[in-house]
Structure formats: C-alpha cells, structure tokens
Structure 1
C-alpha cells in the first residue's frame, strides 16, 4: 500500500479514533487531521512490521484496524504530552 493510500486512510482513521476517544483536543480540527494521517502511517508501519500475516496490503479491514490503532496511539501520546506541558 503506497504512502498516498495511507494518508487518505489516515484521514478516515483519525476521524474514527476521535470518535472512539472523544474529548477536547488542543489545536483544533487541523491538528486532529494531522494526527490521523501520521497515525495512519504509523499503523501501516506497525502492521507491516509486526503483523503475523506478512504485512498490510491493500484496502482491507485489517489495514483499517492498523490505521485506527496508530491514530489512537498518537492521540493518546499527544494528549499526555500536552496535558503535562500545560500543568
């Protein structure tokens, strides 16, 4: 799966991650989209590196799950870092 596909996949995955983990995020919608795209790339890398099935290929359910997982990881990390810097 090419990098452009993961970026587009990440947009959707970021929206799903935001739906799964609601709350006020600092930075607004643009930063949430960026987190989704980077999370999709992270999910693609994690899936390709650690998936027992030989990696993530194409648009399928497992690819989408990995993209959402990557987005959730980044969203959690971003909230942890921002909340510590704010206190």
Structure 2
C-alpha cells in the first residue's frame, strides 16, 4: 500500500481515535483526522520496519491494526505534549 493509501486509511483512523479517546484529543475533528493520518503513516512505517511487510494491502487486518495503534500512540503523545486532561473540560 502506498503513501496515499496510508493517508486515506489515516482519515478513517482519525475518526476511530476520536471515538476511542474523546478527551485526549483537543482541537476537534480536524486535529483528530490529522493525528489519524500521522498515526497511520507512523504505524505503517513501524510495521514495515518490524515485520518487513512493505506490501500490505488496504483491506488487510494487519494494516488496519497498525494504523489504529499508530493513531492511538500519536494521539496519546499529542495529549501528553499539549497537557490535555479531563479536568479542564
């Protein structure tokens, strides 16, 4: 799957991350979508390094899991850096 495929997958992952971590991602839907795209690309890159699976397909469960985990990690790091917590809501 190419770079564009990971971006499209990342947009979907952004919605999933917003649903899983609603209090951790500030900035609304645009931020969630951007974090999802970055997370999917990071997840795909790490998966390629760890599993040497450069030929992952869009509809592969492995691609989706890597993208979701990458999105959650990126959203968690973003939340830690920006200091977003539930007490400020």
Q: Corresponding residue for 1:40?
A: 40
| Alpha-carbon offset, residue 24 of structure 1 | 5.6
1:1-87 equivalent positions in 2, closer than 5 A? 1-23=1-23, 25-51=25-51, 54-56=52-54, 57-59=56-58, 60-83=60-83
Cα distance in 1 for partners of 2:44, 2:25 equals: 24
Q: Runs of 4+ in structure 1 displaced over 3 angstroms?
A: none
2:24–2:76 contact (8 Å) kept in structure 1: no
Cα RMSD, aligned residues only: 1.5
Task: State the TM-score, normalizing by the size of structure 1.
Answer: 0.85
Unaligned regions of 5+ residues in structure 1, if any? none
| Alpha-carbon offset, residue 18 of structure 1 | 2.0
Cα distance in 2 for partners of 1:73, 1:18 equals: 13
Question: C-alpha offsets along residues 4-53 of structure 1, whole Å, 9 cap, x if unaligned?
Answer: 000000011121122222226322111111001111100110111112xx
Q: Which has the larger displacement, 14-23 or 33-42?
A: 14-23
